[in-house]
Structure formats: C-alpha cells, structure tokens
Structure 1
Amino acid sequence: MFTRLVRSGYQVVFNTVFRRMDAERAHHIAAGVLRGIGRCEPVRRVLGRCTRPANSLRVEALGMEFPSPFGLAAGFDKNADLVDGLTALGFGHVEVGTITPKAQPGNPKPRLFRLVNDRALINRMGFNNDGAETALENLRARRNGQAIVGINIGKNKVTAAEDAVDDYVSAAKTLRGQADYLVINVSSPNTPGLRGLQELDALEPILRATLEAADGVPLLVKIAPDLADDQVQRIAELVRRIGLAGIVATNTTIQREPLATSSRVVEAFGAGGLSGAPVRERSLEVLKLLRAELGDAPCIISVGGVTDAYDVHERLAAGATLVQGYTAFLYEGPQWAAAINRGLERLRRRGR
C-alpha cells in the first residue's frame, strides 16, 4: 500500500512538474528533499519501518552482509551527502561519486537530458563534485553508520592520462577510511581520454597502485558496455590476476540505437553517456561474459537498464553478486527501492 500510494503521487508530480523542468534542476530539488530526510531522525525511523528489506534478502558480498542485493549506482550522490536519506528509502547500499581528488565544476550546462519514451537519460556531467576532502567530511557526518557505502573515484579533468594513477591513489588514500568498498571509474565517456585507461597497458598500473593505496578496502573497477567481448574478457583476466575484489558492469554507453526518441531530438541533446532501459541487453551480456571468465568467487555488481524486481532477479540468476540502478529512480520515484525489495521477496517465495 505504501509503495503504491507513493508511486501514484510521484507520477503526478513527475508528469506535471519535473517532466517540464530542466533535469539537473529537478535532481537538485530531489537531493534537497533527501538531504532533509537524512537529517530528521523521526522521518528516517518511520521510513525505515516501511522500507526495510526482508531478512531473507540479506546477501554476503565483499566480506560484508548487505541487507538487500539491490543498491543505488554512482552518479546520483556525487558529494556523498545523501547517504542517510537514500538508505531510508530501502537501498541495500549506496555507491557515491564519482569523486575526484580536487573539486571541479564538470561540463557546461545543460548536461543532463531525459528520453522519457525510452526510460533513459543522456548525461555529460563530467565528474562535477566538491572533491575528496569534502566527501570525506560528509561521510564522517552521516547519521546512519550501518549504511553500506561504496565510493566511486575518478581522475580530475585537468590531469593528463599518463598521470591518472596519481589521482586514483590520492582519492583512495583520502577516502578509504569511510569506504566499505572502492570503485575505480575508467569508463565514463564524459572526461576526455578516460576510457582509454581501459586499455590493459594503462589500466594495470592504475589497478595495482590503487589496490595498494586502498589498504585492505575491497577494490573494484567499473567498465563500459561499449568494450568488445574480448576486451571484457581480458580485463576480467587482469582483475583476477591482480587480485581485485571484482568488477562493476556497466557504465553508460555512447551508442544511440535503437531508441524510440526521434534522432533529431537525440542529436540536439548532443554528446554524453546513455543510461537506462536501452543499455539493458548489453549490460546483461557483459555480466554473463564476466561471470564465465571470472568463475564463482569475484564480486560482480551489475548495473545498466535495471527497472524492476524481475530485472534484479534476472541479474542475480545470471551471476551478479549485487545489482544497482539509477536511471529508473528518476522515473519511478522514492518508493522504487522498497518496491524492488518487496518484489524480490515475492519472487523468492514463489521459487522463481
């Protein structure tokens, strides 16, 4: 009843207000509400009773017990100041960031666009964030110390590709004390030269140096859906050989087909990473490739095109350890995580 009522109310607000508003401005409004929820203990307590995942959904991963296999992907909470509010909505974990060593404004606005007919987004945010030190302060100030937090780290735009390792090491050293796990982001299409770091010659020294800097905190790497199958397999082999905790798959895509939104509108939006339902099939393909290559042990966090409990169930059945979503959150509303958790519980009871 709670989730149905909240979803109905959100759909009215989305269609009458948010849909007509600049997407980034709508995000800032939602973030303000979440920030307020996080700061108000009575509200968090009431929400927690309505959204708490069933004990049957608990899962062991990365040396921890997650309350649910479903969490929020990086990109929503860029400065790590929304964890309390997001956890109150039922997310089993929150991956914050991408966070760079130094603050940076990101790319010029507008830089976030909805493709409503595709249940998708195009973004070229460019790692806009207030820097690692601010994120560290925000994480230290959070009220829910039990929330599981992953920290997604990247290089600053002004840092040359050949010096990228220094940025990843710096961010890892600054943030490791507040991280339940760390993720190296080398797969966003919105920072020039970043995706080139997925080439093995560039990637291996970054992974090795950051693993040392993580000082025992589980370290994963996030890859793009646009890699060829053999590239995915080679990265998996590298991850296994170095001893990383796992892989996050996948980031946004630079592909634009097939889409229901007209090509004229899509072209007008311009460059950026496409996320949401159109990424679903490729993300699932990459997950299956990775699990076949990695075997049973390493963690795979599957993200890309996840909309409902059936999607999460499918990813888990295909070998995902954990599952994340982001884009559908903007379309489904604040009851989304709780609805997925309840749907997963029903599917498990039915033995599906």
Structure 2
Amino acid sequence: MDATILLFLIQDGITNGAIYALLGIALVLVFTVTRVIFVPQGEFVAYGALTLAMLDTGKVPGTVGLLLVFGVCAFLSQLWNGWRDIDLARLGRDAAFNLLLPAAIAAMTFWLAPMKLPPWASVALTLVIIAPMGPYLYAIAFRPIAEASVLTLFIVSIGVHLAMTGLGLVFFGAEGFRARPLTDVTVPAGPLVFTGQTLSVYAVTLVSMLALSFFFHKPLFGKALRATAVNRLGARLVGISASLSGSIAFGLAAILGALSGALIAPIATVFYDSGFIIGLKGFIAAIIGSLASYPLTALAAIGVGLVESFASFHASYLKEVIVFTLIIPVLIWLSFAHGHTDEED
C-alpha cells in the first residue's frame, strides 16, 4: 500500500464515519431520553434516501403515504389511550398534529414533486416528510409502554424495525434508487479529489453537531431534553413532560436519519432494507460511547468508518464481519468496568 492509497482509504473512512456519527448520536439521544435502543434508526436512513431519489425523478415518494398512515395510527393510539379522560383542547391539538399536518405535507409534496426541485430543496422537502414520523412512531409503539423495562422496549423496537422494513417494501418496492449529487463541485488537494458530495457530508455533519449542541444548551426545549436524559424521575418532578421529551427525541432521530439518507443516496444505490446495516454501524459507535457520550460516539463513528475502509481494501469479503467484531471487546470491557446494575424502578 502506497501513500496515495492510504490517503484515499482515510478519506473514504472519514466520509463514512461522519454519516455513522449522525446515526450514533441519534441512537444515544433516543436511549438517554426514553431508554429505547432504537433499532429502526436505519429505516429512517432508507426512507430519507429513497424519498430524495424519487423526488429527483419528479415522482411523489411512497413516504407520503406512510406519513399519512403513521399520522392516523398515532391519532387513534392517543385517542384509545386517553378515552377515559377526553380533553377537547388536547384532542384538537392531537388532530392538528397527527391528521392536519401530514395532510398538509402530502398536499405540498403533490404540488412540488413534479417540479423536480433543486437538490437542496429536495433535501429540505425530504426532511419535512420524514421528521413527523419520529413522534408518530413514538406515540404508536413506545409512549403506551414508556415505563416498561429496557428489554421490553428493545423487543418492541425490533418488532417496529421489522414492520418498517416491510412497509418500505410495500411503499417503495424492491428496486434500488440513487439520487443526483447535491453539487458537482470538485476540490483537488494533492493526490486527493474532494467531490462536492464528500464536502457536503463533512459540512452537514459539522453543522448538525453544532446545531444539536446549541439546541441542548440554549432553548428551553433543549434544556428540558437534556434534563430528562440526565435524570428522568427528577425531570418529571419539576414538571418536564416525559412524553413531550420522547416525542422531541424521536423527531430529532428521524431528522438525523433522513439527513444521513440524503447524504448517502448520491453515493450508493439504496434499497428498502439498506438502512439496517448502515444503522448497525452507527449502533456500534453508540455502544463504544456507552450509549451516553456524544463526543465519544462521534469519535468512535470515525473509527468505525476507518476500520470499514481498510477492511474493504484488505479483505472486502470480511468487511462487515470485521466491523461488527469491534463491538465484542467493547462489551466485554463494559461488563467488567461497570458490573451488574439493577434497572431503574
């Protein structure tokens, strides 16, 4: 291996690692706030990539139908769980968020999709379509059992992943899609050439992390979310709604997943089930970060990307095995370092 190949492998590893960092941070966020190990995070990646690819062709993406279905199911779930104490004001808010909002987004998409929007406008529309799915999913599957054990929540999470994968096949079909590059700019740097898509990955990841840092420290909602992550019981005692915190966490996870999908779509062909493997690599980074540390998760994600890049060069047929093996020594170390702790009552 010469220096040029080494630089190319490092560049590829950092690019992939930046995307895994977004997914790992989303997984840490959801777990710290709701205790849910969010297996379906990868499905938001696939949905985002496929939505962007279909918007590029001037077609209305299948996620519009999914959004409407999720909204109706979320409304019915909230109505069922609260039928003993019906509050007309709350019912109106639920109807507006779960029924009127997805209908408005669907109408806007039907109007804008045939126009073949510019790439960044298509990304923005993709985020608008995918973002509400996070809170809807939380309302349907996790809010009713929010106080269940971590194991129960994990089992439900696996079931949600399988359901979302099946829905992806129904609404998108088995065919793979690829989106156009967000920009055609190229920047030479010695033996390396940075494409506009690669630079977009770096820029979007950096901006997203800075935006999340600002959100957690400045706005009231962000501080409430951080308080819930630090001490769920204490947050409830001072009046912070656990349900609202969960909805916000899942909404941010959906945005980060869709954003990752939009960054991946111009680089690789994405299928309805492609998100699972991509999400698992973000999960490895989150585990290395102990499902608690955002900076450590981001650094671990870069490490995962580098390991994947070098494994692809030296033993491509074992690439996934090598990457997923990273989790074994981490789990062994965590088991010895922390020992057994009883679950929060």
TM-score (normalised: structure 2) = 0.28
Structure label with greater radius of gyration? 2
Select the structure that is richer in helix. 2
Select the structure that is richer in strand. 1
